[in-house]
Amino acid sequence: MEVGDNGTDIQKAKQTLQDKNNQRYMRAALDMAEQALASDEVPVGCVFVREGKIIGKGMNDTNRSLNGTRHAELIAINSILGEYQSSVLHETDLYVTVEPCIMCASALRQYQIRAVYFGCSNDRFGGTGGVLSVHSDPGVDQPFPVYGGLFREEAIMLLRRFYVQENGKAPEPKPKRDRQLNTEILPLIN
Would you say 23 or 63 has its CB closer to Zn ion? 63
- Residue 96 CB, nearest approach to Zn ion (Å): 9
Q: Which is nearer to Zn ion, 104 or 155 (CB)?
A: 104
Exactly one of 41, 73, 99, 154 is catalytic; which is it? 73
Smallest distance, Zn ion to C-beta of residue 2, A = 31
| Min dist. Cβ of residue 103 to Zn ion (A) | 5
Closer residue to Zn ion (CB): 89 or 104: 104
Per-position DSSP letters for the chain, written without gaps between them: --B-TTS-BHHHHHHHHH-HHHHHHHHHHHHHHHHHHHTTS---EEEEEETTEEEEEEE--HHHHT-TT--HHHHHHHHHHTTS-GGGGGGEEEEEEE--BHHHHHHHHHTT-SEEEEEE--TTTBTBTTS-BTTTSS-SSPP--EEE-TTHHHHHHHHHHHHHHHHHTSSSPPPGGGGSPP-----S--
- Contacting residues toward Zn ion, per CB under 5 A: 71, 101, 104
73 as an active site residue: the answer is: yes
Annotated active-site positions, please? 73
